[in-house]
Structure 1
């Protein structure tokens, strides 16, 4: 096979392989999810009429996706004592988006045990555990209208 034939063969394979991936220039890219605001909603956590701070983790909202460190790990590195509450105190979760999430998952870890424990039947409220200790919570929320995100927060039960 001559050099000219080899170059022609390689060029033809290149055109064939990459030509199959060509897109129709008249075809628009699919739209991303269309939540009602351009920035992800903030999570408000209220316990005994006291609002506590949360940490935003990774999210996809609108056409923007971010990948960040696990917010639970960020909470674990925070200085100072977490806010403290009585056992079985009622925790209310609320998002700044007018529509609350379609799905909401919640897990926690204790300061002494890294095992993740899932909190079942979470709507927007749940109770703190009975046992004293420091608890680190992580939420996973998603909206059918588009978007999902995670937050974390910490509390002490005394």
Structure 2
């Protein structure tokens, strides 16, 4: 092989490696996510996820929010209170969804600027917070996704 060919191949290899590292996510699994109610901060429970980091990918499948949280203490909230979802991680996910589960019926909740409003009716509400890190060039390629579960008890 000529030196020119070797240098060209190394340049191509370096370019592809550098590009793939730009989209690589940090950590060996999705970041911790909390919810903030008033001045109190609470942990969420990581559920199902797929995560790609340093050229390695892993997918973990768990039970849904109700089963995942059956032995967990429900977070007390007031009717109509505002809840903030906090994820101290960069890059931020490009797509988010929040689903509420009540009496085995699931519906999407409007979330703006990582905030949503708690229902006004008393009861226990389960939530699934789904986040997705899509490729910047091809939105059909995912570098990671995660679902976090938490339960609120409206008093």
Q: Same fold (TM over 0.5)?
A: yes
Q: Which residue of 2 aligns with 1:84?
A: 76
Answer whether contact 1:105 1:122 (CA < 8 A) is retained. no
Bigger Cα Rg: 1
Alignment partner of 2:109 out of 114, 119, 122 = 119
Answer whether contact 1:106 1:139 (CA < 8 A) is retained. yes
Answer whether contact 2:47 2:68 (CA < 8 A) is retained. no
Q: Which residue of 1 aligns with 2:59?
A: 66
Q: Which runs of 5+ in 1 are unaligned?
A: 1-26
Q: Which runs of 5+ in 2 are unaligned?
A: 1-12, 136-142
Answer whether contact 2:30 2:49 (CA < 8 A) is retained. yes
Aligned mates of 1:102, 1:123 — CA distance in 2: 13
Answer whether contact 2:98 2:111 (CA < 8 A) is retained. no
Shift of 1:67: 2.4
Q: Which residue of 2 aligns with 1:101?
A: 93
CA deviation profile, 1:74-110 (whole Å, cap 9, x unmatched): 344215x412111111111121312322111011112
TM-score (structure 1 length as normaliser): 0.70
SS in structure 1 at match of 2:67:
helix
* Aligned CA-pair RMSD: 2.6
Give 1 or 2: higher strand fraction: 2
Aligned mates of 1:133, 1:75 — CA distance in 2: 18
Equivalenced residues, count: 129
Alignment partner of 1:128 out of 118, 129, 145 = 118
Aligned mates of 1:42, 1:76 — CA distance in 2: 16
Alignment partner of 1:48 out of 38, 41, 45 = 38
Q: Which residue of 1 aligns with 2:144?
A: 147
